[in-house]
Structure 1
Amino acid sequence: MKRYDFDEIIPREGTNCIKYDGREWIFKTNDVLPLWVADMDFRTPDFIVKAIKKRAEHEIFGYTFKPESYFKSIIGWMQRRHNWNVQKEWISFSPGVVAGLTLAIETFSNPGDEVVVQPPVYFPFFDCVKGTRRKLVKNPLKLENGRYTFDFDDLKSKITGNTKLLMLCNPQNPGGMVWTKEELHELSSICLKNNIMVISDEIHSDLVFEGHKHIPFASISEEAASNSVVFMAPSKTFNVAGLSSSVAIIPDKTNFARYERALGVGHLGMGNIFGTVALEAAYNHGDEWLAQMLDYIWDNYLFLEKFMSEKLPKVKVMKPESTYLIWLDFNEYGMNDSELFKFTINEAKVGLNNGAKFGTGGNGWLRINIGCPRSILEEGLNRLEKAFGKL
């Protein structure tokens, strides 16, 4: 069995990558160690690179369609990883998950309709709703015993006859919750009773730690399947976000046809030649690489947890059930969000995500990306200790 090297340092400057070359734009300085945006500093798996190189050898990159092998790779992955029997006729495309979320909102609602989001949550959700001229309805998550849960009573109190969609983050970002079947069933029941369609972002579905199991929303019941659109992608899992190849899974025939029609209007369905090749390679050959990567990420988390407990005990770490994005509570330092964000940049010289951007419940929190060699993570944590240890 091949052993992959996740300790390898791979310089990324000069590749036009947002994480490193975009530091001036995001942090107003290049003098920060970037541990923010959700891509990893690990080498893209060799079987993906090999497949892309093989396709590139043909040297004609004209119009293409998705072959039968593309659909089989998705179906096989969903069965192996999530015990979900996906049918070929359910599978559609999106250039990216956020693009798909936006397209779904435009397809299954009208301007002025209400769309529910559950903050703190991946902040492009807010832009998807507001940018399509829908009304944003916030159903904040509850923080109980160090874990987020749904606030069903709050949700029921905010539903009106104009509430048409609910955007679900499954697994949850930034908290890393893997929603249980019981939680999803209750959410589905409320939405079905009120004719609210669920648009589920499941881009982190493969990044689940031992002891937890991702459950695709559409897999929990036939009723949920008929009332949902699920978006997945190999991008976070295999570090291929730049190849723009996401998957929309829509079991209901009518909903599928409506989405496909909207996709076709913008000529968005063809996708990227190399994205298609990368997805196939990832889903056909990625199980062992993913297992090793998740073990490494979990050890990174344990390293971070121990470091904070011993050296920065004021920082509360939310224990993740999934993802390489960790949610850190800095509220004991008494700074407002602007002060906290600027302090991490100017004093610690570390680039993290500002928790306030994730909406209600994000004040005083920062999100850190631990999808990197441990030496980089250790450097970032040492910088945080040096700065915050003075306070």
Structure 2
Amino acid sequence: MLEVTALPLDELRERTSEKWREYPDDVLPLFVAETDFPLAPEITAALQRALDAGDTGYVASRTPLAASYAAFAQRRFGWQVDPERIRTTADVSMGIVEILRRVTQPGERVVVMPPIYPPFFDLVEEAGADVVRVPLRDTGAAWEMDLDGIRAALEDGASAVLLCNPHNPTGTVHAREALTALGEVAEEFGVAVVSDEIHAPLAQPGTGFTPFLEAGDAARRVGYAVVSASKAFNLAGLKCALMVTADDTTGAVVRSLPIEVEWRTGQFGSIAASAAFSEASDAWLDGLLHTLDANRMLVGDLLSERIPQARYRIPDAGYLAWIDLSALGWGDAPARRILKDARVAVSSGPTFGTEGAGHVRLNFGTSPEILTEAIERIAALVGR
């Protein structure tokens, strides 16, 4: 395991990505899902080789990426993926839209489970379908899928389910049994399940992460997984995602997508993802998970000490903290006050659905020092 630590703030402010250009320098940006760590060494080396060779043309029809991901899935999840059942595209959102266009008709309905990554609502619309909301259930100890609610939506005519596994923003790793049941009810009604698994490499050890296509025979027959190295390895700007299937019928659907869907894959994205999924990057990923484990606990400790009114459940995966600040009386969208008065940018809860009222999403993929200062700034507003 390598030690993975965030870059200093002055170096981070030299970056030109969205996280570091949206707000002035007096704002601590903990909103968009970018991280503050250096790239994994294998990725840097692979990209440098490409630059040195001027290897900046179109992505090839044959690359090592599918085999690299299949080996990664076997090592990390015990998931046996057939490389022949993988196609690439620019990003997970594009993969979701293109698959939804194939498995739904215009005007049909797609189940989403808020609070949910805000673009899910837009992606369903982009695909020509309508959203039907089946919120996650809060048991008091965890969030879980409302399988009865999903069944009711399918009985009412919904024609697909858009799953987030692990879930954004709650960081929930869905139980294998729930995923198996979802596959079975989807098959019963003859609908597809499209599973966004972009946060899968960031599932903490011991959480029991299950890829949807590993959750049973029915899941394999109805499911499509869309995966990427972009969140774990901070590669979003390089544009590469993979669409994975485990059945002849679903595989044929993905193969039927226009070749331009695959040509939108970035050359650097493919090169970087191949390196990210290689065994040589495992030690870096293990180090990152160790750092994020400490950070997710630090958020809990800081909130308990400085903002005890906050409700926060330690996430199973990822680097996003879903925090309920309703008890502070700062309205449905406390992120506005936090930005204005504390100069900390966090994601606004209501954009994740009405279930997000009073909540914020805070990105803890940064240094303990930045996290501490951010929560101290927010705490200073309490009682004012």
Q: Same fold (TM over 0.5)?
A: yes
Kindly state the Cα deviation for residue 39 of structure 1 after the two structures are TM-superposed: 1.0
Q: Which residue in the other structure is 2:123 paired with? A: 128
User: What is the CA–CA distance in structure 2 between the aligned matches of 1:148 and 1:60, rounded to whole Å?
Assistant: 45
Using the TM superposition, name which of 267-276 and 294-303 deviates more.
267-276
The code of the aligned residue for 2:19 comes to K
Kindly state the Cα deviation for residue 210 of structure 1 after the two structures are TM-superposed: 3.0
Q: Which residue in the other structure is 1:245 paired with? A: 240
The code of the aligned residue for 2:165 comes to N
Kindly state the Cα deviation for residue 186 of structure 1 after the two structures are TM-superposed: 1.4
1:300-315 to structure 2, matched below 5 A, reads 300-315=295-310
User: What is the CA–CA distance in structure 2 between the aligned matches of 1:172 and 1:74, rounded to whole Å?
Assistant: 21
Contact 2:59 2:270 in 1 (8 A): no
Kindly state the Cα deviation for residue 32 of structure 1 after the two structures are TM-superposed: 1.8
Q: Percent identity?
A: 29
Q: Which residue in the other structure is 1:101 paired with? A: 96
Q: Which residue in the other structure is 1:198 paired with? A: 193
Q: Which residue in the other structure is 1:182 paired with? A: 177
The code of the aligned residue for 2:39 comes to T
Does the C-alpha gap of structure 1 residues 187 and 32 become closer, same or farther in structure 2, counting only changes over 3 Å? same
1:278 aligns with 2:272: yes
Q: Which residue in the other structure is 1:91 paired with? A: 86
User: What is the CA–CA distance in structure 1 between the aligned matches of 2:319 and 2:144, rounded to whole Å?
Assistant: 20
Using the TM superposition, name which of 378-387 and 366-375 deviates more.
378-387
Kindly state the Cα deviation for residue 366 of structure 1 after the two structures are TM-superposed: 0.3
Kindly state the Cα deviation for residue 382 of structure 1 after the two structures are TM-superposed: 1.2
Contact 1:174 1:327 in 2 (8 A): yes
Return the match for 2:34 from 33, 39, 49: 39
Return the match for 2:355 from 343, 358, 361: 361
Return the match for 2:252 from 257, 276, 283: 257
Does the C-alpha gap of structure 1 residues 31 and 350 become closer, same or farther in structure 2, counting only changes over 3 Å? same
Contact 1:66 1:276 in 2 (8 A): no
User: What is the CA–CA distance in structure 2 between the aligned matches of 1:145 and 1:180, rounded to whole Å?
Assistant: 16
How many equivalent residue pairs?
A: 383
Q: Which residue in the other structure is 1:6 paired with? A: 6
Contact 1:95 1:244 in 2 (8 A): yes
User: What is the CA–CA distance in structure 2 between the aligned matches of 1:3 and 1:313, rounded to whole Å?
Assistant: 31
1:234 aligns with 2:229: yes
**What SS does structure 1 have at the residue aligned with 2:362?**
strand
Q: Which residue in the other structure is 1:21 paired with? A: 21
Q: Which residue in the other structure is 1:342 paired with? A: 336
Q: Which residue in the other structure is 1:26 paired with? A: none
Segments of 5+ residues of structure 1 without an aligned counterpart are 24-28
Contact 2:115 2:355 in 1 (8 A): yes
Does the C-alpha gap of structure 1 residues 356 and 226 become closer, same or farther in structure 2, counting only changes over 3 Å? same
RMSD between aligned residues: 1.8
1:269 aligns with 2:263: yes
Q: Which residue in the other structure is 2:379 paired with? A: 385
User: What is the CA–CA distance in structure 2 between the aligned matches of 1:3 and 1:191, rounded to whole Å?
Assistant: 42
The code of the aligned residue for 2:364 comes to I
Deviations 1:120-147 (A, max 9, x none): 1111110011223312111011111231
Kindly state the Cα deviation for residue 267 of structure 1 after the two structures are TM-superposed: 4.9
Deviations 1:265-313 (A, max 9, x none): x354362221111111111122111111111111111111111111110
Kindly state the Cα deviation for residue 202 of structure 1 after the two structures are TM-superposed: 0.4
Kindly state the Cα deviation for residue 174 of structure 1 after the two structures are TM-superposed: 0.6
Does the C-alpha gap of structure 1 residues 55 and 212 become closer, same or farther in structure 2, counting only changes over 3 Å? same
User: What is the CA–CA distance in structure 1 between the aligned matches of 2:104 and 2:366, rounded to whole Å?
Assistant: 39
**What SS does structure 1 have at the residue aligned with 2:97?**
helix
Kindly state the Cα deviation for residue 247 of structure 1 after the two structures are TM-superposed: 0.8
Contact 1:143 1:149 in 2 (8 A): yes
Segments of 5+ residues of structure 2 without an aligned counterpart are none
The code of the aligned residue for 2:251 comes to F
The two structures have a TM-score, normalised by structure 1, of 0.93
